[in-house]
A and B are shown apart, each in its own frame.
Chain A
Amino acid sequence: MIRPNAATPGLTLGGQGAVEDYWALLKPRVMSLVIFTAFCGLVLAPGHIHPWTAFVSLLCIAVGAGASGALNMWYDADIDAQMSRTSKRPIPRGAIEPGEALYFGLVLSVGSVAMLGLAANWMAAAFLAFTIFFYAVIYTAWLKRSTPQNIVIGGAAGAFPPMIAWTAVTGSIDLASVSLFLIIFMWTPPHFWALALFKMGDYETAGVPMLPNVAGADSTRNQIWWYSLAMAPVAALPVLFGISGIVYAAAAAVLTGLFIKHAWTVYRIRDGKLGERGPKVLFGYSIVYLFAMFGATLVDRAALALWQAFA
């Protein structure tokens, strides 16, 4: 067995991490959201897909998302080490060599794209490849450290999975699938800025230009409010495009109303204990919101199927 030590300088072959460390490189929590939203894209897309192909497509999208996570952790290892939220990740902890994470991410990227192309279609595969590139290069390597608008544009990477799944079914990129993209895309800024408000110190230490550090907490609270308002009409798009019905519409109205209520609290109450609590509540609710919104599209589709079966 080879391992780096004083007697064998330069031998840093890696490969000594635990299975859990490699799993952590895939950002499993982010992956769960990707799998769920992609599953919704598969269900909502018009047309038929073989259940096995659907399963493989989901797996490939999940592995592709995990691969981008590994590439992100490789590139960001220096700033991850400085932030309390990320300092326990495998590379800053020393459990995995940076080069290992890079090759791990590259191999999974190529593997997931190739498998999606072979199992579903090459349009979906190309879309997955573009998404990995967008997250690893455009967001991680370029936008994240250069502009406070990083997550506004970078959020697109996290919003593509339901569109990729849709493309796996139809073989094309349809306007209706853009409505699913837009829900996640418009949700991302208020979600991350709420987090950034109570993790300002972390981002400051690491030199990441998040909006609160660059424009100030007050400006960030204003932006959260306006983005949340802009998100509201987007929530109605699946109904307008005809991919969801009344059940989704009712759920989306309640869920988005609550989101706006929490955003209003962040906007109005800026000081004291309540002022500190607002962004934390909004951040927690925003995670529930996205799961519930996409969950509502599934419930809506199931309700429609039941209605058609008994009507």
Chain B
Amino acid sequence: MTTGATRVQEIETYTPTPEEAARRRKRSIAIAVILLALMLLVFVTTIVRLGGGPAGA
């Protein structure tokens, strides 16, 4: 039977395979790029909207 403590230990000590690690690295980069793009998107949109007029015209 697996107790709570050993289960946590199993989770913490799990070592990803090289393929899993590569996938995780690509996911992390993608998330970082998306977050940066989102920041830029909101920032520039705010500037454009402050220009006034319908739909930033």
Instruction: Say how far A264's CB is from chain B's closest CB, in angstroms.
Output: 44
Q: Which of A15, A17, A171 contacts B55 (CB 8 A)?
A: A171
A52: B residues at CB distance < 8 A = 44-45, 48, 56
Interface residue? A30 (CB, 8 A)? no
Interface residue? B57 (CB, 8 A)? yes
A8 touching B7, Cβ below 8 Å: yes
Q: A59 vs B14: C-alpha distance in the bound complex, in angstroms? A: 39
Query: Hey, what's the 0/1 contact readout for B1-44 against A, CB within 8 Å counting as 1?
Result: 01000010011001110001001101100100000000001101
A2: B residues at CB distance < 8 A = 11, 14
Q: Which of A1, A7, A11 contacts B24 (CB 8 A)?
A: A1
B7 touching A171, Cβ below 8 Å: no
B48 touching A16, Cβ below 8 Å: no
A18 touching B23, Cβ below 8 Å: yes
Q: Which of A1, A121, A168 contacts B14 (CB 8 A)?
A: A1
A119 touching B14, Cβ below 8 Å: no
Main secondary structure of the interface of A (DSSP, over half): loop
Instruction: Say how far B32's CB is from chain A's closest CB, in angstroms.
Output: 12
A7: B residues at CB distance < 8 A = 2, 7, 10
Q: Which of B16, B41, B48 contacts A115 (CB 8 A)?
A: B41
Interface residue? A173 (CB, 8 A)? no
Interface residue? A29 (CB, 8 A)? no
Residues in A64-122 with C-beta less than 8 Å from chain B = 115, 118-121
In the complex formed, the residue of B with least CB distance to A121 is B55
**Known A16-B20, A50-B48, A56-B41: A120·B11 in contact at CB below 8 Å:** no
Instruction: Say how far A252's CB is from chain B's closest CB, in angstroms.
Output: 29
Q: Which of B2, B49, B51, B55 contacts A169 (CB 8 A)?
A: B55
Q: Which of A3, A15, A56, A171 contacts B54 (CB 8 A)?
A: A171
B16: A residues at CB distance < 8 A = 1, 3
8 CB < 8 A contacts A-B: A3-B16, A8-B7, A11-B11, A50-B51, A53-B55, A56-B45, A119-B55, A168-B55
**Chain A positions near chain B (C-beta within 8 angstroms):** 1-3, 7-8, 11, 15-19, 22, 47-50, 52-53, 56-57, 59, 115, 118-121, 168-169, 171
Given A52-B48, A168-B55, A171-B55, 17 new contacts (CB under 8 A): A1-B14, A1-B15, A2-B14, A7-B2, A11-B11, A15-B27, A16-B23, A17-B27, A19-B23, A49-B56, A49-B57, A50-B48, A52-B44, A56-B41, A57-B55, A59-B41, A115-B41
